[in-house]
Amino acid sequence: MRNTTHHHHGGRRRHLHLLLHLIYYFLISLTIFPLLTTSKNLITPTQFLTGNQTLISAGEEFELGFFTPGISNNYYIGIWYKKIESQTVVWVANRDSPLKNSSAILKINSDDGNLVLINDSGKSIWSSNYSRAKNTVAELLDNGNFVLRLENDKNPENYLWQSFDYPTDTLLPGMKLGWDSKSRLNRYLTSWKSPDDPSTGDFSFKLDINGFPEIYLTKKQRINYRSGPWNGLRFSGVPEMKSTSPFTFQFAMNRNEVYYSFNLKNESVYSRLLVIHTGVLQRLTWIPTSKIWNQFWYAPKDQCDHYRECGAYGICDTNASPVCNCVKGFEPRNLQAWNLRDGRDGCVRVNKLECESDGFLKLSNVKLPESGTAFVDPEMGLVQCEELCKRNCSCLGYSNSNISGGGAGCVIWAEDLYDMRQYAAAEGGGQDFYLRVSAADLGLKSLLLKPDRTGRTDRFDRKLKVGPIRLIHHSGEYIEEELDLPLLDFSTVVNATDNFSDENKLGQGGFGCVYKGNLVEGHEIAVKRLSKNSGQGVEEFKNEMKLIARLQHRNLVRLLGCCIEMEEKMLIYEYMENKSLDSFLFNKDKSGLLDWKTRLNIICGIARGLLYLHQDSRFRIIHRDLKASNILLDKEMNPKISDFGMARIFGADQTEANTKRVVGTYGYMSPEYAMDGLFSIKSDVFSFGVLVLEIVSGTKNRGFYQTNNQLNLLAYAWRLYKEGKGLELIDSAISESYSTSEVMRCIQVGLLCVQEHAEDRPNMSTVVLMLSSDCASMPQPKHPGYCLGRRPLDTDSSSSKQDDSCTVNQVTVTVLDGR
């Protein structure tokens, strides 16, 4: 008994002794590297960050800590807005060195004073990499900057290291984009690889500090978009940077630095400039009352934003059709390609320069040519600039380097002029540019030459006057416009289509047939031939010819010309190698070719095309017949919206219109359009939402009831979404390699677009933002609008063909078959 008690007490003493040792070593560890037991804004040599601890800036504007993006299992150190509920990450430390778990430490290295991120194996995977220093601390500031500084020195000029010098995909107010000679850093933005992967992506936004500095958006070093040079007020190609904007802009160019920066006039608003993984540059704003990121500006947004769209000495103008024209004194280098609306080969000079007898023509409101090799003298006046250019025979043009305060400085171009753009005076873009031309060209009346010079034998040389048409611009201005559309001979079309052979037939609809054609010159075309006995089509044909000829966007099918001869009426389009979306989407043998990446690209492309029609084109266009068969796919499976026969132009302040003849396709019609004849941009948004859900599911909305015993695809998607089973909607033909977050985002966007009430549906600028940014916060969708398919209204067995029309609420509804 005595021995048992002795062993019992001895065991208790040993356990107590071990516990005391553990407490002792724990206390010792806290004195060396104590955890941040509460959120603070500093990391010091005696306190570090790990696991679920965060730093919060003094004013609680930003937060720093470990995070996992989307569905990723990797961990990163990042900075996000503290006051925005949906985590919006603006900076990532270890973007290319992910952690496999959160068992890591961010601390000050006692050896050299650097910030260092240590993984669970004790290995350093990221460091601030500053030269050795003592007594350093790391602080998260209220502007989002994470800085390493000496403990008692808060002077920004003396920061040892700062996250603002190493941006990821986001530029915050006060951040500098550009070159710093002291640190030898060129600070630029690079996109994430995907919404779930913050590693270095394909797209960069970088300031070229050579010549007359400007910023480029590139994909793997290939330029996609150019801002134009800074002219003292704004970048020459960004008219939105006007004095009435909610921002102030700074640009510095001196021996110490060349940079661009912005700030907000209202500090209660958040804003950021972002390069997203799809290759779009966005300026987003967050207003606390709206609790959503709004897209203030983005690029590239139209055809003229595409780099070198009109080649050398070509000038791009979205208010012209075609958009490419040659500057005065030049003609198309490749007339055939030019007339097929491909201006990339640019223009060549008609009359040779003679140097001494040359003069200069003033081009107003133009985006200055590419400026990386330009000569700049900020002190020289414009008169001296002209004299210098005149004496130098290699000088091709000149302009002011600073247009603020009446204009100053001199810029001279001595190499071929690329990527110019014409703005309307009301847009406030561009500036004056003085082009060197020969004496023979000084007598020409127009600054721009149309590429239809007489005496040529090109098959597209003849022109058809389309119009006049009275158009209302977004500004409210009325424009009476004639349009020259290239005219093709009927014999040429017959030869190109092998006399409209069945082998060349691409499809058929209510208007007639579409044929593939091959011109002698090698160009492939698609010929839309209006049937002579078609009940519908003549008005639609005229409408499409007037509208689409004036629309230019990479996600709209391109009209090349027309043929009107005898009783024939034909429209000539660019040939789309992969035909229409429905031929893949609803075909079991082909749907597997549409992997998730391709489907997402198609959804985003359609969204951009529709945004152009609603907001960014010269005139607000309502398509009214958006559906899978009207989405064409090029050889790279890029989508292009087609068939504008039903489209309507809206005025500047017009929000909706009413019609007694509802024309469209059941399954895609919004309830207010099908039932009451009301159409607006929101009815197009509804059709887009249906299309999104069809692309995700691989299933038609129309005919869904017969296949699945559900009301329709919208109801089925809505039920799955509410039950948290949204992923069950995804097409089984899609392989497992898809992003869950991207699929769910598309389903949510689709359901937001098909909400019953038009006012609840987002506009297309919001849709594009929600689709393109994983950081975009989205509201929860409400009940969708169920526009039911037509039920037969009679049972007249004597009728051999069912009528495709019905009357609803005294509105005639014409149902169009897919084509």
CATH number, residue 70: 2.90.10.10
Residue 346 within any structural domain of the chain = yes
**What pLDDT does 29 receive?**
44
670 in a structural domain: no
CA distance 117 to 140: 16
- Whether 454 maps to a domain, the answer reads no
The DSSP symbol for 487 reads B
Among 517, 541, 574, give the residue marking a domain's end. Answer: 574
Q: What is the distance, to the nearest Å, from the Cα of residue 230 to the centroid of all Cα atoms in its chain?
A: 23
428 shares a domain with 360 = yes
Does residue 37 sit within a domain?
A: yes
Nearest-angstrom CA–CA distance, 321 and 552: 8
Could you read off the pLDDT of 202-235 as tens digits, one per residue?
Answer: 999 999 999 999 999 999 989 999 999 999 999 9
In a domain, 648, yes or no: yes
In tens, the pLDDT along 709-746 reads: 557 899 999 999 999 999 999 999 998 788 898 999 99
Do both 58 and 151 map to the same domain?
A: yes
Q: Which two tokens stand for residue 425?
A: 């005076």
Short-list 563, 327, 348, 556, CA closest to 460: 563
Single out the residue of 366, 301, 330 nearest to residue 772, CA to CA: 301
CA distance 175 to 163: 10
Mean pLDDT, the chain, whole residue set: 83
Residue at 355: amino acid letter:
C
Contact 359, 439 (CB under 8 A): yes
Residue 566's CB: how many other CB atoms inside 10 A? 6
- Residues 545 and 614 occupy one common structural domain: no
| Residue 625 known to be catalytic | yes
Question: What is each CA distance from 633 to 23, 476, 582, 733, in whole angstroms?
Answer: 68, 34, 10, 19
Cβ neighbours of residue 123 closer than 8 Å, sequence gap 6 or more: none
- Convert the pLDDT of each residue in 398-410 to its tens digit: 999 999 887 899 9
Question: Is the domain of 212 the same as that of 258?
Answer: yes
The last residue of a domain, from among 275, 301, 327: 301
Q: What is the CATH number of the domain that holds 500?
A: 3.30.200.20
- The proportion of the chain whose per-residue pLDDT surpasses 90, expressed as a percent, equals 56
Q: Is the pLDDT of residue 192 over 60?
A: yes
**Both tokens assigned to 308:** 């070198």
77 and 147 fall within a common domain = yes
Do 314 and 284 share a structural domain? no
Q: Comparing C-alpha atoms, which of 590, 616, 595, 605 is closest to residue 739? A: 595
Domain count, the chain: 6
Q: Is 569 annotated as a binding residue?
A: no
- Report d(CA 195, CA 211) in Å as an integer: 36
For residues 20 and 143, membership in a common domain is answered with: no
- 507 & 564 share domain: yes
Mean pLDDT of 85-113: 93
| 294 and 308 together in one domain | no
Strand partners, 257: 180
Q: Kindly state whether residues 155 and 275 are assigned to the same domain.
A: no
Q: Does residue 318 sit within a domain?
A: yes
Looking at the structure, do residues 232 and 262 belong to the same domain, yes or no? yes
CATH number at residue 204: 2.90.10
pTM strictly above 0.75: no
Boundary (domain end) residue, out of 422, 449, 476:
449
Whether residue 67 has pLDDT greater than 80: yes
Q: Judge whether 789 lies within some domain.
A: no
Length of the chain: 819
Query: In sequence order, what are the residues at sequence separation of 6 or more whose Cβ sits closer than 8 angstroms to the Cβ of residue 137?
Result: 42, 43, 44, 45, 108, 148, 149, 150, 151
pLDDT digits (tens, 9 = 90+) for 556-600: 998 888 888 767 888 889 999 999 999 999 998 899 999 999 999
From the candidates 302, 305, 317, 625, give the one annotated as an active-site residue: 625
DSSP 701: S
Phi/psi at 665 (5° precision): -125, 125
Coil, strand, or helix at residue 226? strand
Q: Is the pLDDT of residue 474 over 50?
A: no
Q: Count other C-beta atoms under 10 Å from residue 815's C-beta.
A: 19
| 803 in a structural domain | no
Reference 146, options 134, 155, 137; nearest CA is: 137
State which residues form the domain around 157: 33-166
- Do 395 and 424 share a domain, yes or no? yes
